[in-house]
Structure 1
């Protein structure tokens, strides 16, 4: 008769390959676990119906009922057991998708025996209520905040960083996508290799190919010597393609070919060079809409997005604004040799109410200006130079109509900009970041009365 401890550590191994089942059984039994096996999902369900099991280790691709269907059927029957998936390297995207639907982890074949035992031990430790591994140090990594959204982001980064898969980072401009890419690299097994960043948005299309793939001497005019491309420079490290949505269709084809075989050919060369690097990509564009419009290749998108990380805008994590403000102000004061600056409650309320269309980058710039312009160590609203900000509080949390709140804020911002520019529209428009024509339209829309200007004598 088995002890209670043995029952708590019973593992079901599911795979259509008898050799894999044998390896799993030997490894797990030698570590003290009780193991039962099944050749496919249907057989696994029969085992689960007949005896208590505490962990399932299953292949994803199997004839008959595969791993994903097994997971779905377990969920339907109320069998909420942890499941670790085994997958071939080329099917990692399927394992990542399985994790989104409830799997706890995955291993790529051929798996390392010690890594298998480590993952299994982590699952049982968590089930027993053992302290979880330490969470990533958000502040030290540069991800500053305390909101649930930021904690979820930090946990996602920590989990993805350990797996050598391509990642697509989505988010509005200024949210910190490059920071996320840096953190993934620093926490990855490639952390001792280079992190090479390519700004696809600012590099002219005609130069991007040479920048990425390099060229040989004489390949074109002014190619006076061989040049190693940025992809090649990222060998054994990480390649970060920022603003990937801006590359041309022709460049997309070349990049897709590289992602498929990890080989490049310099411009003007006939030799192919093998490159081993992880690819991270980011964009603030709606890349799925670009695919629908035919301006971005769908096959390239799915090569890039084995895992997708969405970086939340600042307006969706307003509780982080005081933490970010304190962090940036302390940083600026130290860098500029300025005594500590105090943020009074009314200024903090102003920061909390502001819509922050430019996200964390805009907050950082505003606070830097405020630290420089602030008088007597106190940060006032006008020191922030935010003409777009409304004077009233953000009413979205109180249930009031968002459109009315936004309209009121925009009207107040326009009036403030006009006051600052002595009611000269030509001068106010740049403060608001709009054209003079757009400003005139808004003035008429909100019925803003302009003071009559005195005629020149």
Structure 2
């Protein structure tokens, strides 16, 4: 049985005794030190799986010890004990490389959770960690993407809030998922939410949950996103879209590590790792007053920038082949490949929509191309304007499969559903007219056989 060893650094004997008793009851051997000098001496003589240090020490402070351990024993997680409410100090310790922090007076359940998470990191076997050349979810061989993978591995070892910046479609959620999967919370939930997609009147209930009967329509209790992510990671995408009133409540939940469900009188403790992202310029929004400065500092302890696709053109061929392979498997079609000219065309394109735009371009090309070779003409990049077709190329603007005009309904409509119903009708008519001969139906519709198979699968008409 592995014996875990922890170092406790605090100049108050009562605190040292309390921490030592708590860790001993968890089956952890604890050594103690009253100052920085003694701590460094013990660190040189023993191997520790965890270090707990007070911020204020007779011969220095906890941040100095965090920095020393980062330099001499970077695999040892360090947690800093801070004064109650002193978030500036806590954030400073996280930026210095601390794994996490706990405030005085120390709450033992919170301490036990912290220790358990730290030990998962410290005892991780080398094969569990992502090797230097293993792409994982972040595909690419460019220097930018290799640097990004290295940064995610390092940040996964911390509990510090990370703000992920980058353009729309650049892969910010993938980066967040990589941080989660490589950290001690990998076995916990990963909850991703687009803050801009939640109606403002439902935000508090969505984030913090509610009690049954707390408002009209609350027919049953709901946990909310924070409690659903307990023990794992909560990723707030497009965090800049949060209204100011919700920003205040979010800040309190982050600082107190607790939420109060709508209609409840008690706060519920939560243990989450917070990651956030936006494609907007958050410092600019802070200057304008539309985003709270205190919340910005709290979520932006560490910033991680995701490079746009146009800055790593050498990765486009690898990404394109991966995407085409996935599309072929998903729709059970023969795979397609890009010609060298098509790859050159993609590498010279600006990609304002980044990887998401690359996926859309390839999906359209895959369905419209008649052969297994996608050439530059199949990409339909042009000079920006696209023909008014759906992704399948079946329905053209204002015209049905039989050549008759498509009636445009009045009032509010579900455009996606409306177009899908028209497409479904066109395919059904073509199949009926050709006695369900798919090759003939595809020809009648003016599309490739692969495009028809793709649409049948997507519309659930197989």
Tell me the equivalent position of 2:145: 150
8 Å Cα contact 2:9/2:54 also seen in 1: no
Superposed CA deviations along residues 339-373 of structure 1, whole A, max 9, x for unmatched, are 23232221111111111111111111111111112
Tell me, yes or no, if structure 1 residue 272 matches structure 2 residue 266.
yes
Tell me, yes or no, if structure 1 residue 256 matches structure 2 residue 254.
no
8 Å Cα contact 2:176/2:235 also seen in 1: yes
SS at match of 1:241: strand
- In 1, Cα distance between equivalents of 2:347 and 2:260: 51
Cα gap change, 1:327 to 1:195, in 2 (>3 Å): same
- In 2, Cα distance between equivalents of 1:132 and 1:139: 11
8 Å Cα contact 2:79/2:101 also seen in 1: yes
Give the aligned CA root-mean-square deviation in angstroms.
4.7
- In 1, Cα distance between equivalents of 2:62 and 2:260: 39
Cα gap change, 1:60 to 1:240, in 2 (>3 Å): same
Tell me the equivalent position of 1:390: none
8 Å Cα contact 1:232/1:275 also seen in 2: no
Tell me the equivalent position of 1:288: 283
Moved more, 141-150 or 171-180: 141-150
Tell me the equivalent position of 2:81: 88
Tell me the equivalent position of 2:222: 228
State the 1:248 CA deviation.
Answer: 0.7
Tell me, yes or no, if structure 1 residue 349 matches structure 2 residue 344.
yes
- In 1, Cα distance between equivalents of 2:376 and 2:286: 43
1:5-154 matches, within 5 Å, as 39-40=35-36, 61-62=55-56, 65-66=60-61, 87-88=80-81, 93-99=91-97, 135-136=130-131, 141-154=136-149
State the 1:276 CA deviation.
Answer: 1.8
Superposed CA deviations along residues 164-211 of structure 1, whole A, max 9, x for unmatched, are 333222211101112222233333333333333222112221222222
State the 1:219 CA deviation.
Answer: 3.6
8 Å Cα contact 1:17/1:39 also seen in 2: no
1:277-426 matches, within 5 Å, as 277-278=271-272, 279-387=274-382, 413=383, 417=385
8 Å Cα contact 2:117/2:184 also seen in 1: no
Cα gap change, 1:38 to 1:191, in 2 (>3 Å): closer
Tell me the equivalent position of 1:177: 172
- In 2, Cα distance between equivalents of 1:366 and 1:199: 24
- In 1, Cα distance between equivalents of 2:361 and 2:153: 30
8 Å Cα contact 2:191/2:229 also seen in 1: no
Cα gap change, 1:199 to 1:339, in 2 (>3 Å): same
8 Å Cα contact 2:190/2:233 also seen in 1: yes
Runs of at least 5 residues in structure 2 that lack an aligned partner in the other structure: 1-6, 25-30, 103-110, 389-396, 398-462
SS at match of 1:201: helix
- In 1, Cα distance between equivalents of 2:316 and 2:72: 39
Cα gap change, 1:168 to 1:138, in 2 (>3 Å): farther
Q: Which of 157, 160, 182 is equivalent to 2:155?
A: 160
Runs of at least 5 residues in structure 1 that lack an aligned partner in the other structure: 1-11, 28-34, 75-79, 123-130, 388-412, 422-429, 431-457
Superposed CA deviations along residues 254-299 of structure 1, whole A, max 9, x for unmatched, are 11111122332233x2422414231222211111111121111122
The number of residues matched between the two structures is 355
Superposed CA deviations along residues 428-457 of structure 1, whole A, max 9, x for unmatched, are xx9xxxxxxxxxxxxxxxxxxxxxxxxxxx
Cα gap change, 1:114 to 1:243, in 2 (>3 Å): closer
SS at match of 2:345: helix
TM-score, normalising length: structure 1? 0.62
Tell me the equivalent position of 1:186: 181
Tell me the equivalent position of 2:235: 240
